[in-house]
Amino acid sequence: MYIGIPKESRPFEYRVGLSPAGVEILTHFGHQVFVEHEAGAGAGFKDQDYERAGARIAFSGQEVFGRADFLLKISRPLKQELEWLQEGAILSGFLHLASSSQDQIDLLLEKKITALAYEQITDSSGGLPVLRPFSLISGAMVAQIAARWLQTNRGGKGIMLSGVPGVPPAEVVILGGGAVGTSAARAMQSAGAHVTVLDKSMTALENIHDRLPGVVTMMATKRNIERATAYADVLVGAVLVAGQRAPVIVSREMVRAMKPRSVIIDVSIDQGGCVETSRPTMHDNPTFIEENVVHYCVPNIASLVARTASHVFLNSAIPYISEIANNGIDDVMKKDPSIEAAVNTHQGKLVNLVRLSGQEVSE
């Protein structure tokens, strides 16, 4: 199979679709891998590293997209890049198609592209094994992001997460007790903050209660969310529904009732965001102020630690990538439900995807 690894084209995306170690695994199986020039530079991988692993270096994204039977991406391709794909190709990445534009979906269907969303690969226990490592990274980074944007010179309230003797710590409220929420709670607690986690699942709350003594847990009812957001110095949105747009559970009225210059970090923004006032931002200008509250809404937080992220991605994704490359997507979809659950478009049809309107389109 011809496998393509292009350079990520979205601004401030430093990760790469596969590291040289992953390329070595695929070439060992006899596949031909094409890597775009400097595709791995942001993560510290040189073209020579890929060549030693058996790849061929291509000098344009169009060549990589056009040659690939199986294209390995991190972020969702731009429309121009989708047009370069050959008909019937396999596209993989953290695609988040539930929050994409309709013209991109239409193009995938028109070209009969099989779109595999890594964030929806689901194991037998219902976990998300490829998304989870990035979720853990994003959650762990939330504490340092919050500390920075609480600073007075950044527009925040001018308080420390940990407090000091005689001055209480910051109040941190986390919406969602999954991988991101648990990782964020651990990091915030380690930084000395007072942490509250809300979730609809008692199992998730029990898990946090047992693993992180001292973290307050609450059921995510509307009343509790209103109460918690009102006293939060930092609000972390960590809500995920696989294959769907993130539900908006924090209304503009709740944001308006928050403390002035408090901070919202909406990690759910890659799936549309769980806060009504959120909108995507980039690393060069990551925040905006709405209703007198600082909003940090960068979709690709893990890109800031691109080398770590690329290594951990290889560990979690290479079994699935190899399976598809070695056996073909049609055969794998029939035999492996974990991959079948992650396919969003196939042979001109939508599957396993709920669009922005909320209309169920899976079959």
CA 40 – CA 53 distance, rounded (Å):
13
pTM for this prediction: 0.87
Q: Could you read off the pLDDT of 124-170 as tens digits, one per residue?
A: 988 999 999 999 999 999 999 999 999 999 999 999 999 999 999 99
Residue 363 has pLDDT above 60, yes or no: no
CATH homologous superfamily of 131-299 equals: NAD(P)-binding Rossmann-like Domain (3.40.50.720)
- Residue range 326-333: mean pLDDT, rounded: 97
CA 89 – CA 35 distance, rounded (Å):
17
Q: Could you read off the pLDDT of 216-259 as tens digits, one per residue?
A: 999 999 999 999 999 999 999 999 887 788 899 999 999 999 99
Residue 362 confidence class, pLDDT cut points 50, 70, 90: very low
- Residue range 31-54: mean pLDDT, rounded: 98
Predicted pLDDT at 30: 97
Residue 359 has pLDDT above 50, yes or no: no
CA 196 – CA 177 distance, rounded (Å):
10
Residue ranges covered by each domain of the chain: 2-121+307-350, 131-299
Q: Which residues are catalytic?
A: 96, 270
Average pLDDT, the chain: 94
Residue 57 has pLDDT above 90, yes or no: yes
Query: What's the half-sphere exposure (Cβ side, CA atoms, 13 Å) at 223?
Result: 1
Residue 354 confidence class, pLDDT cut points 50, 70, 90: low
How far is residue 119 CA from its own chain's centroid? 7
CATH 3.40.50.720 fits 2-121+307-350, yes or no: yes
End-to-end CA distance of the chain: 29
The pLDDT > 90 percentage for the chain reads 91
Q: Is there a common fold for 2-121+307-350 and 131-299?
A: yes
CA 248 – CA 251 distance, rounded (Å):
7
